[in-house]
């Protein structure tokens, strides 16, 4: 069965496996998530469930959202995300999903918004090379280098790797492994790094590759 849940990134730590090796893990507070809406092929043309995560005061919710939550008699949620799952027959509006939907050893994909790095140069943004800082190079060791040809085409080609805004974009990290699940505290320890800063909202679902 396909699974999905919304969580909040708490930070990184390390665990020891059964062989005594150190495993770097990212800890996610996963759930509890409430099923707010159930979409079916008959009514919407596809099947999916909308999950809500995080409590929010009713006065901070606009009127359309208030009506959306009131319609299904669910308390307002701070974050809403939709998961297209192969089988949603067992899920109903109002159901609570917790971290124990996943188990140690599961392969997952994690979606989040990466850390914003602001305006960055070509070396940081595209892993470009520096120039040799030997005699005659001048103060351009970290510059972009040649922009292209001269009179033809008399312009910079689209897509050239130049300085610009770096980070703060949706990122999917595929095929990570669940190391440990603490169902009592709704925590999931995932091997490796997860996009976003501490406190960022992430979506965890079954891996599409593994």
| Residues 94, 52: Cα–Cα separation, whole Å | 10
Residue 1 has pLDDT above 80, yes or no: no
Q: What pLDDT, in 10s, does the model give residues 62-106?
A: 999 999 999 999 999 999 999 998 888 888 898 999 999 999 999
d(CA 197, CA 10) in angstroms, rounded, equals 9
Q: Residue 161: what are its φ and ψ, rounded to 5°?
A: -80, 100
Which residues make beta-bridge pairs with 6? 203
Cβ pair 178, 188 in contact under 8 A: yes
- CA dist 35 and 102 (Å) reads 17
Do the Cβ atoms of 4 and 203 come closer than 8 Å? yes
Question: Is 110:194 a contact under the CB 8 Å cutoff?
Answer: yes
* Interval 138-197: pLDDT, tens: 888 999 888 877 888 888 888 899 999 999 999 999 999 999 999 999 999 999 899 999
DSSP state of 70: H
pTM, two decimals, is: 0.86
Q: Specify the 3-state DSSP secondary structure of 30.
A: strand
Distance linking the first and last C-alpha atoms of the chain: 14
Structure tokens at 76: 């307002």
């Amino acid at each position: 069965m396909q699974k999905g849940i919304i969580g909040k990134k708490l930070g990184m730590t390390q665990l020891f496996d059964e062989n005594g090796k150190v495993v770097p893990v990212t800890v996610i507070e996963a759930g509890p998530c409430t099923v707010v809406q159930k979409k079916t092929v008959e009514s919407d043309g596809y099947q999916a469930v909308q999950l809500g995560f995080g409590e929010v005061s009713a006065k901070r919710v606009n009127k359309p959202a208030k009506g959306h939550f009131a319609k299904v008699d669910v308390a307002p949620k701070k974050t809403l995300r939709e998961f297209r799952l192969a089988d949603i027959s067992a899920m109903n509006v109002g159901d609570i999903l917790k971290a124990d939907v996943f188990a140690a050893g599961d392969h997952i994909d994690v979606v989040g918004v990466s850390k914003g790095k602001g305006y960055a140069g070509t070396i940081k943004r595209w892993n470009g090379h520096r120039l040799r800082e030997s005699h005659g190079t001048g103060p351009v060791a970290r510059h972009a280098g040649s922009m292209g040809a001269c009179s033809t085409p008399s312009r910079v080609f689209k897509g050239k790797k130049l300085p610009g805004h770096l980070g703060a974009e949706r990122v999917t990290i595929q095929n990570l492994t669940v190391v440990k699940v603490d169902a009592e505290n709704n925590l999931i320890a995932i091997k490796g790094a997860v996009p976003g800063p501490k406190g960022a909202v992430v979506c965890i679902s079954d891996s599409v590759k593994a």
